[in-house]
Amino acid sequence: MSRPAAMSGFPEFLPAQRTVELAVIDALTRTFELHGFASVETRAVEPLEQLLSKGETSKEVYVLRRLQADRDGDGGSDAGIGLHFDLTVPFARYVVENAGKLEFPFRRYQVQKVWRGERPQEGRYREFTQADIDIVGRDTLAFHHDVEVARVMAEAMAALPVPRLTLQVNNRRLIQGFYAGLGATDLDAVMRVIDKLDKLPADAVAKMLVAEAGLTDDQASLCLQLAEIRTPDTSFVERVRALGVESSLLDQGLAELAAVVEGCASVSGDRVQVVADLRIARGLDYYTGTVFETLMEGFEGLGSICSGGRYDALATDGRATYPGVGISLGVSRMLVPLLAAGRMTASRSVPSAVLVALVDEESRDRSDDVANRLRARGIPTEVAAAPQKFGKQIRTAERRGIPFVWFPGSTGSGGPGDPGDTEGRADQVKDIRSGDQVDADPDTWTPPTDDLRPQVVVSTLRQAQDDASSTTRNKEQQQ
Amino acid sequence: MSRPAAMSGFPEFLPAQRTVELAVIDALTRTFELHGFASVETRAVEPLEQLLSKGETSKEVYVLRRLQADRDGDGGSDAGIGLHFDLTVPFARYVVENAGKLEFPFRRYQVQKVWRGERPQEGRYREFTQADIDIVGRDTLAFHHDVEVARVMAEAMAALPVPRLTLQVNNRRLIQGFYAGLGATDLDAVMRVIDKLDKLPADAVAKMLVAEAGLTDDQASLCLQLAEIRTPDTSFVERVRALGVESSLLDQGLAELAAVVEGCASVSGDRVQVVADLRIARGLDYYTGTVFETLMEGFEGLGSICSGGRYDALATDGRATYPGVGISLGVSRMLVPLLAAGRMTASRSVPSAVLVALVDEESRDRSDDVANRLRARGIPTEVAAAPQKFGKQIRTAERRGIPFVWFPGSTGSGGPGDPGDTEGRADQVKDIRSGDQVDADPDTWTPPTDDLRPQVVVSTLRQAQDDASSTTRNKEQQQ
């Protein structure tokens, strides 16, 4: 095999990077489970007709074909299946398929890979991991679940060792009620144009609101003033009221958005800030009430890394409709740039907290025995692969980031070449960072809690650059 | 959406079943990490040329095509990629691709879905989960890692709540050395024929050994006698010696197999038995020394659910070769039949240990506060969706299997309609299985450890059938 090249759009991690990803996924699922969300996994494939019912995404689908389908003469049996491009379409299908066996409102989390046949570009991948939570009701779903979903995801994100996140919340009823209240007739057109504020200056958008959405200059100005409102608390309500537009849909939207922002107040803080941002519309998606987007500090160019909202009908099976509210975190979208920039790594590339040294091949049982005693008490341990000089074995631990090296003592039997050692030497354990070496018993010794598992190490951008260049230097010196 | 049907060959789980799968995967990865194995995930796709280098598997590959590839005029950009059909081929590629960044010997575990475009049949799926461990060296890999891999997987399997497993070990050097020692010339042919003992009677195999492998009747008889040897300890060595065949390769094989069986003796027991079984050959696979197969009691018809062995070259990149030893557990292959038979389920379908009751919609904050205090101490908790009568809320908990319902007391402020309640009622928690209800403080109350997370419930086949029919009866009564 010649050395294969990485495949564009299909990111893969080295073990230390994968350790960071696992820690992030563990932190997320722990929070989801604390709030009663059950894990669901769906198959990777769906019928094409299911995948294509959202027209806009059709160009992104990977279609599957059995390599030998023609030869077997049953090409039709797999015809029309493709890889899912998100976790919402398969979850909607799962809910309808299993509705009789699920308890509603049904809370589920789902952490899985999804695939999109897009041209790879910065922050876009062909294979990536998403972490979704949704709450789905049968026929009805109370509004307080919107607050719940926002709070759970904010709490989950606050536990992540990533740059500060801002969860921006808005409400479709609020903006549509506002547009209707000021006399707009094509509400979707207004929303579509307002959505362009990300890319176009305000005066250009104002002109488009007149030209494409049929607004007067005054109406357009009010829409832009609405979109400028962004508050970390419920003071947005007053500012909207001050614009003098009224409608009952607007009232409902204001009350709902205020409830979400207020409900997240206790979670909003240094790690995750929850704000009302009246520009968020989630363009073409099918949301009907609450909408979410999330930006990561210093990585705003990635766009939203965690989005979602309320939909009145996630699915319907003719007998019932299933309204839902959900939010989807782009795990790869968030982590791949952070890992590539060296902003996060793990304290070691292996789970092992201890490397048990090996005196000689004949005493491997002795070293294995120490390792098994440590493992029995939950301490990840490996045994040296070969009985090299202890200095070499210590350097092996160092290269893997293993903090402790264990030296088995003599068994006390006093070998023939060691007549003075009839009482045996105790085992010793060395912290190779400090050099401290102490007597230790494999049935009682315990490493500091922080050393038990690999820790996620976060560095600032500046540190990361320094580390990267020093690593390069070290490598050059070694070669 | 009309009610979709399950897709043959793509098993999916209900939440309680998924809880079992998660518990199994957690138990496996916990053991793997205790032994220093690092997690790796590889992308789902590989270049077709990579996938097809093992000719025999080519008919199983799912090829990918971007739905709009033709329209975009870049049909070539994704040409020739397919979904991986195992975790060994992608891992071999990963090792070569990242060899400069890995520490050897490199221990990794990998739990991922794989896909095969096979015709679905009992125990065969088109999408399924595998859990692999491998240890890979650069240029050399000491034999003791064979013992290590067997012991780690045996220990991991012993922690699973599944029927008794038998890990059968053999050694290619042993059987090839034996065949060579008795004068056979086409060793592969002998092995291929012996491999048919699973399906054909011994005398038919004996005739084939003469006809297809060119053996004499005496030689064929010795081969069959070798294949009959199966011992739970190292006594197989004596029995092989008694057959009077000699070769240095046989000696090496006997010593290696004895070392594996001996090394696993402390793990071998009620849950997992490790035996030397001299019939195991792993047919067409590329193993060069140790080989493994595993049968599950009562489900022998599934064939081996956990297989692997030693290969002298997992991969090579022209500059180095990477010998390895590994074993792959078919998680879906093991679990899907057990779950389908009702042999395993979870004690509840949600993570929640507590349902906090809701007095009225106005006091939702009070119930949320209780829930957050419980969650802060690691107790998974949900709040009732609606302020129904307490009896109904208790039945909601019952249906989900949630063991505790929490009743928030009055706040002690003495509402206007409740003048006698100026001191407030304490919170109470009810174990809905026993009916016991006691005063409780959300900052100190803790459920029994077994109730904290859903437990895997194992039933015998007989119990499972009873449960299934009683569930059916209950459902009929409700309707």
Q: How far apart are CA B221 and CA B367, in angstroms?
A: 76
Do A366 and A330 sit in the same domain of this protein? no
CA distance B183 to chain A (A): 35
Which candidate from A40, A127, A386 shows the least CB-CB separation from B44?
A127
Do B300 and B210 sit in the same domain of this protein? yes
The tokens describing A209, both together, are 């609101």
Contact yes or no for B102 and A59 at CB 8 A: no
A179 is in an annotated binding site: no
Residues 6+ away with beta carbon under 8 Å from B222: B178, B182, B243, B245
Do B197 and B256 sit in the same domain of this protein? yes
Do A292 and A415 sit in the same domain of this protein? no
Q: How far apart are CA A307 and CA A168, in angstroms?
A: 9
What's at B83, amino acid-wise?
L
CA distance A293 to chain B (A): 25
Do B370 and B306 sit in the same domain of this protein? no
Last residue of a domain, one of A345, A363, A380: A345
Contact yes or no for A385 and B37 at CB 8 A: no
Contact yes or no for A97 and B4 at CB 8 A: yes
At B179, which CATH number? 3.30.930.10
Residue B293 inside a domain? The answer is yes
Do B288 and B365 sit in the same domain of this protein? no
Identify the three-state secondary structure at position B472: helix
Residue A4 inside a domain? The answer is no
pLDDT tens string A164-205: 999 999 999 999 999 999 999 999 899 999 989 988 999 999
pLDDT tens string A416-469: 444 444 457 899 999 999 999 999 999 999 999 999 999 999 986 555 555 555
CA distance A382 to chain B (A): 5
Contact yes or no for B42 and A12 at CB 8 A: yes
Which candidate from A4, A18, A144 shows the least CB-CB separation from B41?
A18
Residue A390 inside a domain? The answer is yes
Contact yes or no for A15 and B102 at CB 8 A: yes
Residue B463 inside a domain? The answer is no
Phi, psi angles (nearest 5°) of residue B75? -55, -25
Residue B475 inside a domain? The answer is no
The tokens describing A271, both together, are 């790690």
- Does the CA dihedral A111-A112-A113-A116 come out positive or negative? negative
Count Cβ atoms within 10 A of the Cβ of residue A101 and give its class: 0-12 exposed, 13-18 middle, 19 or more buried.
exposed
Contact yes or no for A36 and B65 at CB 8 A: no
Last residue of a domain, one of A323, A345, A367: A345
A282 is in an annotated binding site: yes
B121 is in an annotated binding site: no
Count Cβ atoms within 10 A of the Cβ of residue B124 and give its class: 0-12 exposed, 13-18 middle, 19 or more buried.
middle
Residue B50 inside a domain? The answer is no
CA distance B162 to chain A (A): 21
At A436, which CATH number? 3.40.50.800
Do B321 and B262 sit in the same domain of this protein? yes
pLDDT tens string A53-111: 765 555 689 999 888 775 555 444 456 899 999 999 999 999 999 999 999 999 999 99
Torsion angle defined by CA atoms of residues B151, B155, B157 and B159, in that order, rounded to the nearest 10 degrees: 180
Do A359 and A322 sit in the same domain of this protein? no
Do A238 and A358 sit in the same domain of this protein? no
Contact yes or no for A18 and B38 at CB 8 A: yes
Chain B residues closer than 8 Å to A97 by CB? 3-6
Which candidate from A3, A44, A115 shows the least CB-CB separation from B113?
A44
Q: What is chain B's pLDDT, residue by residue, as a tens digit (479 residues)?
A: 556 778 889 999 999 999 999 999 999 999 999 999 999 999 999 999 888 876 555 568 999 988 877 555 544 445 689 999 999 999 999 999 999 999 999 999 999 999 998 877 766 899 999 999 999 999 999 999 999 999 999 999 999 999 999 999 999 999 999 999 999 999 989 999 998 998 899 999 999 999 999 999 999 999 999 999 999 999 999 999 999 999 999 999 999 999 999 999 999 899 999 999 999 987 666 899 999 999 999 999 999 999 999 998 888 888 899 999 999 999 999 999 999 999 999 999 999 999 999 999 999 999 999 999 999 999 999 999 999 999 999 999 999 999 999 999 976 444 444 444 445 789 999 999 999 999 999 999 999 999 999 999 998 655 555 555 544 444 433 33
Identify the three-state secondary structure at position B109: strand
Which residue range forms the structural domain that includes residue B360?
354-415+424-453
Do A275 and A378 sit in the same domain of this protein? no
Determine which helix (DSSP H) or strand (DSSP E) holds B130, and give its type and residue range: strand B127-136
Residue A240 inside a domain? The answer is yes
Chain A residues closer than 8 Å to B33 by CB? 351, 380
Do B331 and B363 sit in the same domain of this protein? no
Structural domain tally of chain A? Answer: 2
Which candidate from B64, B69, B96 shows the least CB-CB separation from A64?
B64
B310 is in an annotated binding site: no
Which candidate from B3, B351, B364 shows the least CB-CB separation from A33?
B351
The answer to whether B278 touches B230, Cβ cutoff 8 Å, is: yes
Residue A10 inside a domain? The answer is no
Contact yes or no for A22 and B39 at CB 8 A: yes
Search chain B and give the residue with CA nearest A349. Answer: B38
Last residue of a domain, one of A325, A345, A365: A345
Q: Which of B324, B377, B364, B270 is nearest to B102 (CA)?
A: B324
Q: Checking DSSP bridges between strand A321-330 and strand A127-136, what pairing results, if any?
A: antiparallel
Do B318 and B359 sit in the same domain of this protein? no
